[in-house]
A = this chain, B = another copy of it.
Amino acid sequence: MNANRKYSAFLINVGSCSDRFCSAYGPPFTVERLFARAGSIDLLSGVDLVATDDTLARTGEIKDLLSAHDLKAVSVVPDHFTKPEFKQGAFSSTDARIRAQAIEATTRAMDFAAEVGCDLVGVWPGQDGYDYAFQADYLTERDRLADGIRQACRHNPAITVAVEYKLKEPRTHNYVNTVGTTALLVQEIAEANCGVVLDVGHALLAYESPAESVALLHRHGGLLRHIHINDNYRSWDDDMIVGSVRTHEYLEFFYWLRRTGYDGWVTIDQFPYREDGRDAVAESAAWMDALEGALDATDADEIAAVLARKDGVEASRLMRRMLFGDGRGAHGMERTCEPILASTSR
């Protein structure tokens, strides 16, 4: 099991955030400063970009900044979520003009991606959904959602269009909500360049085990194309520093990425409302590095053997050993490492 650290972050993550109460928790940053800040993080070798109108208008400048800071453009995300015209849905809108705009936003992002040397567009249909019962015609809107993304895919088969799911927010119910419905959607779209973005925080929010979601996407057609990563308390998309809330799920997640041969990027995607954004990203990268280090130090066959035995106590021991090694907590280990069969004799 060899290490593979292709870490990136959304450029805006090293800047400032707002929420529905406070419109600016920190100062604004110029694009130049954002690149400089991202570039100052040793463990990062790429950035992901949101294709706002402003960004699209500055393609040349962005190419230069990528080059100047030796950062790869990892993915480009069309803006389907900041504009009020998409508030009742982008691809699934009841208004044909809005649907056309949603597709165009995607194809423009694809073109921009091609120009900045990136072959991956991440689509997050965050406004496609509903809030109230009796608010939506689920059949018609889903047809439109699939059609729209399919049309965008056909614009340029050389660009991967990966769809990101999230259970809720900004709608109380988003259509592209869980790993299962997203796989169904991508299968229905049936374009070779269509796949899935797995956001670890979104998986946690949906009570998925991110590791199992990796396995599922692998199993149903090799659909995993990109990863966003952040941490949360599982009941909301808190978008916190990676590893600051949980450890075991990350260890298992990175194990399954390796197990299924994922060779793409892992992009930090967080909202450091009250923290310095650059430091929060650096901290996430350091956690990932440490967690992957713990995996590097563990024999993959040993892990596979534990999985095959399907025993909770052994799983717990394995995780404890990965974090604390054999020299720590040895007192307890000594006894519990007796063979299960012996210990279960009564």
The CA of A170 and the CA of B215, in the complex, are separated in Å by: 22
Which A residues from 3 to 32 make CB contacts under 8 A with B? 17-27, 29
The CA of A280 and the CA of B89, in the complex, are separated in Å by: 19
Selected from B83, B167, B173, B256, the residue in CB contact (under 8 A) with A22 is B83
The CA of A247 and the CA of B245, in the complex, are separated in Å by: 8
CB distance from A137 to the nearest CB of B (A): 4
A274 B88 Cβ-Cβ under 8 A: yes
CB distance from A122 to the nearest CB of B (A): 15
A207 B168 Cβ-Cβ under 8 A: yes
The CA of A177 and the CA of B241, in the complex, are separated in Å by: 23
CB distance from A72 to the nearest CB of B (A): 19
* A304 contacts the other chain (CB 8 A): yes
A138 B312 Cβ-Cβ under 8 A: no
| Number of chain A interface residues as a range | 35 or more
CB distance from A198 to the nearest CB of B (A): 14
Knowing A23-B18, A344-B279, say if A137 contacts B87 (CB, 8 Å).
no
* A234 contacts the other chain (CB 8 A): yes
* Per-residue interface assignment for chain A, residues 272 to 291, with 1 indicating a CB less than 8 Å from any chain B CB and 0 otherwise: 11111011101101110110
The CA of A328 and the CA of B295, in the complex, are separated in Å by: 12
Q: Which residues of A contact B (CB under 8 A)?
A: 17-27, 29, 33, 37, 40-43, 81-84, 87-89, 94, 126, 130-140, 142, 167-170, 172-173, 177-184, 188, 206-207, 209, 211-212, 215-216, 218-220, 232-236, 238, 240-241, 243-249, 251-252, 255-256, 271-276, 278-280, 282-283, 285-287, 289-290, 293-294, 303-304, 306-313, 315-320, 323-324, 328-329, 331-336, 340, 343-344, 346
